[in-house]
Amino acid sequence: MSERHARLPRERSGTSWQTEVEVTHGIGLHARPSVTFTRLAKSFPCSIEVAVDGSGEWLNGKSIVKIMGARIRRGARLRIRADGSRAEEAIVALGELVRRNFDEDRKLGRADGRAG
Amino acid sequence: MAVPVDCSGEAYRGTPVSPGRAWGPVHCARRADTILVDPVSGDPRAVLRRAVAAAVDDLRRLASEAAPDSAGILDFQIEMLLDEEILTPAFARIAAGEGPLLAWAGAMTAYINSFVPDDRDDDAFAARVADLTDLRQRVLDALDGRPRADFPAGAIYVGADMPPSVFLAHDWSAGGGIALGAGSAISHVALLARARGVPMVVGLGEIALADGNSALIDGDEGLLRLAPPAVEPVPMVVARRAVPPLGPLPTGDAVTLGVNINSLADLDAFDVAAVDCVGLVRTEFLFPTAADALNEERHVAAYVKILARLKGRPVTVRMLDLGGDKTLAGVAEGGAASLLGLRGIRLLLAHPELARVQARALLRAAALGPLSVLLPMVTLPGEVTAMAQIFAEEEARLAARGVSIARPPLGIMVEVPAAALTLDLFAAAAFFSVGTNDLMQYLSAAARDNPAVAPLNAGSEIALFRLLDQVSASARALGKPLSVCGDLAGEPQGLARLVAAGFRDVSVAPSRLAAVRELLRGAVNADAGAGVAHGP
């Protein structure tokens, strides 16, 4: 994880950072994108939560069970918030991942991008 | 079971239960251990955690060998199982008193049901249903992952008793037999042994015998003979009992003759062209483990196979009748107490997850052939309505997923006296089937598999036939089909009295088909026999 896109809007409140991004990927967060998203989220030490389309319900962004269960479709707006160590880095990385369509084009086949 | 070797050639005498003789090496039964609570922590959650970990190991092994395409799916499944959140709802169910099997099955099913597509949905999420269903099953299989208590083919099984699941898991095509120290002539395993033609003797007392001994089991004489002299060769399985002399049967309407199915192997045990229907499929015997019983696809596959074999003839499938001597590790512990407790439909309604799996499979199979559903151990009309409600809900769920289904007619087993005496209140049932074995057990308040009270059970035939007269009249008044699927229909005198009481629809074990057909043919030919007095 490295890119820090200045384009990605973000807000800060104490140790908590938030951003909002639209899902433009073909189907939405189905199996493979959910794996990619939650694996990246789990690589950060801070707490990460996601709310869909202005919902007041914050889902654990590290839980694929919760992310899949939310059935996040194309066109949905995701609010991603992180609290704690490396929170800003985390929301930027996750926001950019969504913008890059979960790197689906680059990593055909493998959900996690490992050599396969 | 360490026992001294006895080579004296002595014989044990017991009660003959299933005819024929078999000679072979002895297999002494050991207690099968079922792991439902963690032996160290005493915690069922630890059992579930361990099963999930085992499923992850399996998936990782598969992923390491998989093509990139399927590796993506496996990765997804692994991530799902590694996510602690997947256990949360199951743990909540365990905290509410469910066992790990049903807790996991129920929690996963609820999660999977949330993926049923709505009108704006697309296939990508609905397609996950298959992956998640597979996950659900992997963990169930892991929960059931203990070694099967099977024994060598051709062996004589020696033990105090034998669970039906052990009988069903065994391959009897190589012969063998059953010698029980306790046991009963009217237990379910006895019923299975007679249907399959496996020689069986019960009530032999303490048997001093070890693995590696040879023994002869004589199901006609009720004998177990140790180390029979080698000079006297004995065929593996000899002569079935001859058909008893014909009892007089009244004539009149033609009798519909069906066959009872306990296993898919039974499908090859009769000539399809010579039967009118399958009158009873005992599904609790088809699915010997909880992982099987909770697997919708295994249910569907079994029902479709039966329908296909019957070539358009009607098939009546009884929902899981667990309890008593029919146990299911992790779901139904059985035991004598359950004979008057949580059994049959009571158990299904108490564990709706189990009922829902089977209901979905029956709805799917009913779309493919003439299938009816029989509800076991019904006591009150409300139980039928409750089960009909489950079918209606699952029908709606499957329809939403675009699955092809048909609602099968729901009938009831008439085996609880309360139901038999109030049959007129059961207009909600589509048909009735009398289970004579259980009805007699409950009429006499004498457990069918307790030798100490067996004479009371057998002696209650007068009460049984008085009640059957009434049942027959009530069914006629309601205009509902009525059949008999108990052992009584396979016995000459029993059959004669049933026909006299107005029963025209019977279903018997494959091994009794020929004899019963012979009896019925005799009745048709003996026109003058009409009007003979029968029964008490």
- Helix, coil or strand: residue B479: coil
B83 closest CB neighbour out of A32, A63, A112: A63
CA–CA separation, B127 vs B116, rounded Å?
10
CA distance B123 to chain A (A): 9
Phi–psi pair at B55, nearest 5 degrees: -65, -40
Q: Using a pLDDT cut of 70, give the percent of chain B over it.
A: 86
Q: What is the DSSP letter of B200?
A: E
Residues 6+ apart with CB under 8 A from B523: B248, B249, B250, B251, B255, B496, B499, B529
The pLDDT tens digits of the residues spanning B396-428 come to 999 988 899 999 999 999 999 999 999 999 999
What are B213's two structure tokens? 């001994």
Say whether pTM exceeds 0.95. Answer: no
Residue type, B54: A
DSSP assignment string, A39-108: HHHHTSSSEEEEEETT-SPPEETT-HHHHHHTT-BTTPEEEEEEESTTHHHHHHHHHHHHHTGGGTTTT-
CA distance A34 to chain B (A): 8
Residue type, B486: G
Query: Taking the CB of residue B238, how many other CB atoms lie within 10 A of it?
Result: 15
| Interchain pair B72, A30: CB under 8 A | no
User: Which stretch of DSSP H or E encloses residue B415?
Assistant: none
The pLDDT tens digits of the residues spanning B354-373 come to 999 999 999 999 999 999 99
| Interchain pair B75, A112: CB under 8 A | yes
CA–CA separation, A86 vs A46, rounded Å?
6
Give B-chain residues touching A69 at CB under 8 angstroms.
111, 114
Q: How confident is the model at residue A115 (pLDDT cuts 50, 70, 90)?
A: very low
End-to-end CA distance of chain A: 20
Instruction: Check pLDDT > 70 for residue B88.
Output: yes
Q: What is the DSSP letter of B273?
A: G
CA–CA separation, B299 vs B392, rounded Å?
19
Q: How confident is the model at residue B503 (pLDDT cuts 50, 70, 90)?
A: very high
CA distance B70 to chain A (A): 8
Complex ipTM > 0.95: no
What are B371's two structure tokens? 């299938």
| Interchain pair B128, A28: CB under 8 A | no
Highest-confidence range of B297-306, B335-344, B497-506, by mean pLDDT? B297-306
CA–CA separation, A38 vs B433, rounded Å?
55
The pLDDT tens digits of the residues spanning B220-279 come to 999 999 876 554 444 444 444 444 444 445 555 688 999 999 999 899 999 999 899 999
Cβ contacts from A onto B, under 8 A: 63
Quick one: pLDDT at residue B245? Answer: 43
CA–CA separation, B535 vs B436, rounded Å?
15
Residues of A42-62 as b/e, b for ≥16 C-beta within 10 angstroms? bebebbbbbbbeeeeebbbbb
Give A-chain residues touching B69 at CB under 8 angstroms.
109
- Helix, coil or strand: residue B488: helix
Pair A66, B85: CB distance under 8 Å? yes
Q: Which residues lie across from A78 on neighbouring strands?
A: A21, A52
Residue of chain A minimizing CA distance to B123: A27
The pLDDT tens digits of the residues spanning B89-106 come to 999 999 998 889 999 999
Cα B508 to Cα B219, B284, B321, B333, distances in angstroms: 21, 17, 18, 28
Instruction: Check pLDDT > 90 for residue A78.
Output: yes
- Among B59, B80, B108, most A C-beta atoms within 10 A, so best to mutate, is B80
B124 closest CB neighbour out of A30, A65, A66: A30
CA distance A97 to chain B (A): 18
What are B189's two structure tokens? 């395993």
The answer to whether residue B220 neighbours chain A at the CB level (below 8 Å) is no
CA–CA separation, B86 vs B132, rounded Å?
11
